[in-house]
Structure formats: C-alpha cells, structure tokens
C-alpha cells in the first residue's frame, strides 16, 4: 500500500511542491484515523509520520544476518529463470562487504548479475 512512501515524505516545505504536500497531509490524516486492530503495518521515515499518537508502537527491524541474507538472495534468484550454477549465493551473503546490507541493498547488488544471466 505504501511502497513508495519515501516519495511523499521529503522534508516538508522543501523539494516536495504543493501536490506532494497535499498527498503527505492526506496520508497523515489517514494514519491519525487508522484502526489499530486492522492488521495493517506502516513503515515510514518522515518525522511527522512518527509523531506521538499516530503509531501505537515503533519496532526496530535489524539488518539481516549472513544466513538471512542468503535466504533473501535465494528468494531473489527464484525470480529469474537461469542463474549461473557457479554463483554461490551463500558465499556472497557471508561476505563481510555485505554486513550492512538491507534486503533492498542485496536486491540492487545482484539484480544486474541476475539479469545478465538470463
């Protein structure tokens, strides 16, 4: 639902423009009136979205461990028909250069590699 919330949550009063400002304002209104029992989770960045009363609980989601990075890479690889059989995704996941990588970082890292294989 909010896949591109960062496009709406630029610093208000800066780059955004009137349309983005209106969209962000509407998003904040919706969050203020949201039902906490709906089972919908929102992950956001803008400080205005984190104001007391908009969220009942903030959760920290740590970066993935090496094993979790491996599972993420295997999941990403399933999207592509042909992957180089010599590509060791677990070795890549355990490489220390990937220690601070999020799932999105891993996707950006391997997408060109996966696309060149297909």
- What's the pLDDT tens digit per position in 39-72? 666 665 567 767 777 766 777 889 999 999 999 9
- What's the pLDDT tens digit per position in 67-99? 999 999 999 888 877 777 788 899 999 999 999
How far apart are the C-alpha atoms of 65 and 8, rounded to whole Å? 30
The answer to whether the CB of 92 falls within 8 A of the CB of 107 is no
- What's the pLDDT tens digit per position in 102-111? 998 998 888 8
């Amino acid at each position: 639902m909010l896949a591109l919330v960062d496009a709406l949550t630029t610093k208000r009063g800066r780059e955004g423009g009137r349309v983005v400002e209106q969209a962000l304002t509407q998003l904040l209104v919706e969050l203020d009136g949201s039902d906490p029992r709906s089972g919908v989770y929102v992950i956001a960045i803008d400080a205005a979205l984190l104001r007391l009363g908009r969220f009942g609980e903030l959760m920290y989601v740590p970066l993935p461990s090496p094993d979790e990075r491996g599972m993420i890479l295997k999941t990403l690889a399933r999207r592509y028909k042909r992957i180089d059989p010599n590509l060791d995704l677990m070795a890549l996941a355990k490489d220390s250069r990937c220690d601070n990588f999020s799932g999105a970082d891993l996707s950006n890292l391997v997408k060109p590699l996966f696309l060149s294989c297909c």
